[in-house]
C-alpha cells in the first residue's frame, strides 16, 4: 500500500485544487493514498510524481482519478434497518410544531439512490416532505435530474416497491413522478458548507470516515446550524461521533447512528 510522503501529499492536494476545484485537505491522507495507489497500479506509473505528470496531460485519466475521490458507492435502501429506525423517529416527531412538512438534506448524495430511498420512505409513511440532494459532481447528479437508473441497480429493491415506485424502460428504470417531485438535486461542494437551514433531517452516511477530524468538526457545525432543534443527523453504520464532538448532539439510535440536535449550533 502506498504511503504518501509530505511532498507528494502537497502536490496531490495542489493538483486537486487546481484541476478539480476540490479541497484535498479535508480528506484523510490514507484515503487519498488508497485511491491514488489504485490508479498508479492500473496505469503502471512507478511513483506519485510520474502519475501526477500523467494526469496533467491526460484528461480521461484525470476524470477517472476524480471519480475515485468522489466516493460514488451507493444503493437503494442501503442498510434497510436504518430506514426502519429513521421512519420511527420521524413519525414520533410529526406532532411537534413545524414538523408537518419535512425538509431533508442528503449529502453527499452521489448518484441519488439514498435521496430516492428517503423520498419513498416519506411516501410510505404518509409524510409531506422535500429533499435537497447535494453533490459536487454534476455527472453523479445526472440520474436524479433524469429520474433514470440502470435497471440492475433496482434489483435489490423489494418487488412491492419496484412495482409501486419504478417503471422499467428497457435497460433502465425510472422513478415515478411523485417521488421525483420530492427531490431537488443541487451541485454543491460540502467544503463550503451546507446551503440550507431550517431542515429536519441531514443524512450524511459513509462520508465522515474519509475526512480528517477538523473537516468532520466543520461539517458537524454546519449540520447543527442547518437543523432545527430536535432535528436528526444520520451517519453511516461504521461512523460514530467521538465524545469530544458530541456538543449539541444526543445519540437516539445507536445501531442506526441517528443523532438529535439538542442545543445551539455548536
Q: Examine the pLDDT at 264 and tell me if it is beyond 60.
A: no
> Three-state DSSP class for 216?
helix
Residues 85 and 175 in one domain: yes
| Contact status, residue 94 vs residue 57, Cβ threshold 8 Å | no
Question: 34-48, 66-80, 95-109 — which is least confidently predicted?
Answer: 66-80
Instruction: Verify that 53 and 91 share a domain, yes or no.
Output: no
Same domain for 91 and 130: yes
**Dist. CA 67–CA 57, nearest whole Å:** 17
In a domain, 95, yes or no: yes
Dihedral of alpha carbons 107, 143, 77, 75, sign: negative
Neighbours of 254 (CB within 10 A): 10
Cell reading at 132: 435537497
Residues 101 and 219 in one domain: yes
Decide: 156 and 76 in contact? Cβ < 8 Å. Answer: yes
109 occurs within a structural domain? yes
What are the tens digits of pLDDT across the range 171-227? 999 999 999 999 999 998 887 889 999 999 999 998 888 888 888 888 889 999 999
How many domains is the chain built from?
2
Are 217 and 131 members of one domain?
yes
> Which three three-digit cell numbers place residue 128?
409531506
Cis preceding linkage at 201, omega within 30: no
What is the domain extent for residue 100? 80-261
Q: Quick one: 31 and 135 in the same domain?
A: no
Which residue would you say has higher pLDDT here, 260 or 209? Answer: 260
CATH code (residue 153): 3.40.50.150
126 contacts 100 by C-beta, under 8 angstroms: no
The count of residues in the chain is 266
In this structure, the answer to whether residues 108 and 152 fall within a common structural domain is yes
Helix H or strand E segment including 187? strand 183-187
| Domain assignment present for 74 | no
Q: Are 15 and 53 a contacting pair, CB within 8 Å?
A: no
Last residue of a domain, one of 69, 90, 106: 69
Give the C-alpha separation, 226 to 193, whole Å.
10
Average pLDDT over residues 231-250: 81
- The residue out of 21, 50, 69 marking a domain boundary is 69
Q: Tell me the pTM.
A: 0.84
Residue 207: per-residue pLDDT: 86
Do 118 and 205 lie in one domain? The reply is: yes
Question: Based on the domain organization, do 37 and 160 belong to the same domain?
Answer: no
Residues in Cβ contact with 210 at an 8 Å cutoff, skipping those fewer than 6 apart: 27, 28, 31, 71
- 1 within a domain of the structure (yes/no): no
37 plus 129 within the same structural domain = no
pLDDT tens sequence across 131-167: 999 998 888 899 999 999 999 999 889 999 999 999 9
pLDDT of 71 higher than 70: no
Run of H or E residues at 166: strand 166-169
Note whether 10 and 84 are same-domain residues: no
Same domain, 163 and 246: yes
Q: Which three cell numbers stand for residue 29?
A: 491522507
Place of cell 457545525: 221
Amino acid at each position: 500500500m502506498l504511503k504518501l510522503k509530505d511532498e507528494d501529499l502537497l502536490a496531490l492536494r495542489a493538483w486537486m485544487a487546481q484541476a478539480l476545484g476540490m479541497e484535498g485537505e479535508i480528506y484523510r491522507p490514507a484515503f487519498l493514498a488508497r485511491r491514488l495507489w489504485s490508479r498508479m497500479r492500473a496505469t503502471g506509473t512507478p511513483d506519485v510524481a510520474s502519475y501526477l505528470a500523467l494526469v496533467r496531460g491526460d484528461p480521461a485519466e484525470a476524470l477517472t482519478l476524480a471519480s475515485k475521490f468522489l466516493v460514488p458507492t451507493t444503493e437503494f435502501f442501503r442498510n434497510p434497518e436504518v430506514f426502519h429506525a429513521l421512519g420511527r423517529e420521524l413519525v414520533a416527531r410529526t406532532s411537534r410544531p413545524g414538523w408537518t412538512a419535512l425538509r431533508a438534506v442528503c449529502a453527499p448524495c452521489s448518484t441519488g439512490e439514498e435521496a430516492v430511498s428517503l423520498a419513498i420512505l416519506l411516501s410510505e409513511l404518509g409524510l409531506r416532505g422535500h429533499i435537497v440532494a447535494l453533490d459536487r459532481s454534476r455527472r453523479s447528479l445526472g440520474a436524479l435530474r433524469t429520474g433514470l437508473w440502470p435497471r440492475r441497480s433496482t434489483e435489490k429493491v423489494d418487488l412491492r416497491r419496484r412495482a409501486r415506485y419504478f417503471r422499467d424502460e428497457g435497460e433502465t428504470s425510472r422513478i415515478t413522478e411523485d417521488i421525483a417531485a420530492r427531490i431537488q438535486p443541487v451541485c454543491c461542494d460540502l467544503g463550503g458548507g451546507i446551503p440550507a437551514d431550517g431542515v429536519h433531517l441531514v443524512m450524511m452516511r459513509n462520508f465522515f470516515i474519509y475526512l480528517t477530524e477538523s473537516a468532520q468538526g466543520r461539517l458537524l457545525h454546519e449540520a447543527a446550524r442547518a437543523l432545527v432543534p430536535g432535528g436528526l443527523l444520520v451517519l453511516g453504520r461504521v461512523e460514530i461521533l467521538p465524545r469530544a464532538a458530541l456538543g449539541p448532539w444526543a445519540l437516539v439510535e445507536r445501531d442506526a447512528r441517528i443523532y438529535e440536535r439538542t442545543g445551539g449550533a455548536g
